[in-house]
Structure 1
């Protein structure tokens, strides 16, 4: 493992992957940590992720795997893309958790109009997640729609918890 600094941001990803020694440890442009990988299978990445999770100091950064396309990108382009993807994944997870929070909810206890709005928001949210291609703005807008539709359903969630 090598540590690279801001002085490598203009280098191509493929050049950085071939580096043998660490560079300057000045990291001012990006707050988070990035783990750059090449040649690992999905299984190996999962094993590595699990080992980070089990470690005393888990990796809290963004993992980036080399592809045919991104090898030609500069490191700065890689980091910007990875940062954007991480924001999308975080918002996607938030949307998924909101959908899951409705499991077991009896929508018949809502006013028919509210139930219809919530059902539509849930279906649109689910379809968006299944599509797997969306921008941060699209998924954020859908999360706001679902949050709005979920207003006034807190009592249904509380009743469900009492039945457990």
Structure 2
């Protein structure tokens, strides 16, 4: 009988090792780093030795390109606010996510904030945040594209648009949220 993980993190599924599999080949097939697969399988003491029948936790693959609608976590507060997150593979092997938000009030209506930022959380890995830029219209659109050097996109990643203060650390207010390409 193969080795079995106690549980798999959110956004992961179980994969049964087959003949000829290695951590490297599985990671390559899923477009993630070998270290990422190893880190999420602590029940495998020696990652160079996996056997048919072992169960591994692997990220649930998402088809790219994909688009996710971002909505207010509290619809009664931000009735006009809406956004999208577009995730895609780039020709050089990197990945990108573009966030666009519209219909948002000025950030200072939420408190001591002067801008919006995009925030992406990858369960079990960490997060990225990046400033969104506004267009000059009276009702601006906030947007930006983030390029990620190694593939990370998998089911369970959460995308947010939240308030920020570019000059002082202030706890953010989540304005829009969505799960990447679920």
**Scaled by the length of structure 1, what TM-score is found?**
0.26
From the two aligned structures, give the one with the greater helix fraction. 1
**Scaled by the length of structure 2, what TM-score is found?**
0.25
From the two aligned structures, give the one with the greater strand fraction. 2
State the structure with more CA Rg. 1
